[in-house]
Amino acid sequence: MRALILFLFLTIASFADHRVDIQAQILEKVFSNVSINETITIWTDDEELLLEFKKNGFLSVSDNPAVATLIVVAHKKNIQDDEDCKNKPIFVLNYELLKDIPESFGAFFWKKGRPNIVIVEPRTELQNIRVSSELDAYKEERAW
- Cα–Cα distances (Å) from 32 to 35, 49, 55, in that order, read 8, 16, 17
**Domain made up of 2-140: CATH architecture:** 3-Layer(aba) Sandwich (3.40)
Q: What single letter denotes the amino acid at residue 19?
A: R
Q: Helices (DSSP H) in the chain: which residue ranges?
A: 2-32, 47-56, 95-100, 121-126
Q: pLDDT tens-digit profile of 107-142?
A: 999 888 888 999 999 999 999 999 999 999 999 998
Q: pLDDT tens-digit profile of 56-108?
A: 888 899 998 889 999 999 988 878 777 777 788 999 999 999 988 888 999 99
Domain map (residue ranges) of the chain = 2-140
Residue 18 pLDDT grade (very low, low, confident, very high; cuts 50, 70, 90): low
Which are the contacts of 96, defined by CB distance < 8 A and separation ≥ 6?
A: none
